[in-house]
Amino acid sequence: MSSYTQKKLKTATLVAKADDYLDTTTGGITPPIITSTTYARDDRYNPINEANLYTRDNNPSFVQAEHVLAELEQGEAALLFSSGMAAIACVFYTLGSGSHVVLPNSMYWGVYSWTRSYCDRADIRISYYDANDAESIAQAMEGAARTDLVWVETPTNPMMQVTDIARAVAIGHEAGATVVVDNTTPTPIFTQPLELGADLVVHSATKSLNGHSDVLIGALVTKETDERWDKIVAERHGAGALPGPFDAWLLLRGMRTLSLRVERAAKNAQKIAEFLQTHSQVEAVLYPGLKSHPGHKIAKEQMLGGFGSLMSFQVVGDRDAALQMAGRLNLIVSATSLGGVETLIEHRHSVEPPETNVPVNLLRLAVGIEHIDDLIDDLSQALR
């Protein structure tokens, strides 16, 4: 790292310069990909570099990305995982039998489905709260001897419900629970959960952090490197759910344009939401950037600078009407995922489990960075 950046860097500068990386050996300004799985020791069997023992513990390629992500989230440390679900699973693996967790009743179905299956096997009790109302967390805790974990996802995927993070933290901490926030959708550019008091932040870094739909990777960031974090570090080491060095390098490369991409995508999303809200063939638009959204006030307080690139809308009609509308799109691609440079649309009811509460006429729109006129033109012709 060069000597001129002794002061704290602004977010946009931090990511653009990869924490002001400079290779002191070659002068290279781009971090290299370190592919070695093991590292040499000297004649007394001491590590030549104490930071590098074996790739399952550390690799310079993902340590660099972890450092940048920790800085982005204002945390003490970060860990990369082989996927977002691997990161989430690691948190639950550190909970003991008999634990009690409180989850939102609206959330990404992959987490909802997996936690139900795992917690049943691990004898962990789940209670659910209304994602629109942080006060309902206290009600979900009633009857439990203790609550070990409170999970927050805001805005929720795909129903775009907004939870007051600061209030959720206050209620969770009063009960002695760890509060984890899934910050995948808003990204640290718009929301800083650790600054609002959360203990851990989780990311499907495959999405906006990478931003190019070309790597599967997850991350956890901690506010403090405490005993809880030590358990997570040990669990990751034991299970070995780590990314490869090229995956970590792709993530770091993607994060260098993070602020530009998510700011552009959020501006596009806001304009699209305003357009859809006035269209006769649209029944409802779910986007916290709209003043009509029930969670707009809270979102405005905790999402600084933008409301993210994800939204949902319900077309007039039934399941077939939604599928036909999506099928008429030319520029916007029907595909799963979000946070990439390209705009994607998905009929969520088709991919979620039978018990889903997602309406049959809902389409989830993951807005990219294309020109706004082209995106609105495509949506307009498909809705006619």
Domain boundaries, the chain: 11-255, 259-383
Q: Is the pLDDT of residue 7 over 80?
A: no
pLDDT score for 49: 78
Q: Is 253 among the residues known to form the active site?
A: no
pLDDT (mean) for 334-341: 96
Q: At what angle do helices 84-93 and 109-121 cross, to 10 degrees?
A: 30
Q: Is 226 among the residues known to form the active site?
A: no
Helix (H) / strand (E) element for 235: namely helix 227-239
pLDDT (mean) for 214-234: 97
Q: Is the pLDDT of residue 1 over 50?
A: no
pLDDT (mean) for 278-306: 97
Helix (H/G/I), strand (E/B), else coil: 357: coil
In the chain, % of residues over pLDDT 70:
98
Q: Kindly report which listed range (3-17, 274-288, 339-353) carries the lowest average pLDDT score.
A: 3-17
CB 248 within 8 A of CB 62: yes
Question: Distance between CA atoms of 162 and 288, rounded to whole angstroms?
Answer: 8
Residues 6 or more apart in contact with residue 20 via CB below 8 angstroms: 1, 2, 5, 9, 14
Helix (H) / strand (E) element for 200: namely strand 200-203
Question: Distance between CA atoms of 276 and 167, rounded to whole angstroms?
Answer: 32
Taking the model in full, what pTM does it have? 0.93
CA proximity to 304, closest of 211, 196, 203:
196
pLDDT score for 215: 96
Q: Is the pLDDT of residue 3 over 80?
A: no
Topology (CATH level 3) of domain 259-383 = Aspartate Aminotransferase, domain 1 (3.90.1150)
pLDDT score for 5: 45
Residue 360 CA to its chain's centroid (Å): 25
Question: Distance between CA atoms of 326 and 304, rounded to whole angstroms?
Answer: 31
Which one of 39, 108, 112, 129 is the catalytic residue?
108
Which one of 17, 20, 21, 56 is the catalytic residue?
56
pLDDT (mean) for 147-153: 98
Q: Is the pLDDT of residue 369 over 80?
A: yes
Q: Is the pLDDT of residue 2 over 70?
A: no
Q: Is the pLDDT of residue 242 over 90?
A: yes
Query: 11-255 — its CATH code?
Result: 3.40.640.10
Q: Is 56 among the residues known to form the active site?
A: yes
CB atoms within 10 A of CB 25: 6
**pLDDT tens-digit profile of 250-280?**
999 999 999 999 999 999 999 999 999 999 9
Question: Distance between CA atoms of 286 and 28, rounded to whole angstroms?
Answer: 45
Length reported for the chain: 384
| Tokens read off for 270 | 């806001």
Which one of 19, 148, 182, 378 is the catalytic residue?
182
Q: Is the pLDDT of residue 249 over 70?
A: yes
Question: Distance between CA atoms of 323 and 329, rounded to whole angstroms?
Answer: 10
Q: Is 300 among the residues known to form the active site?
A: no
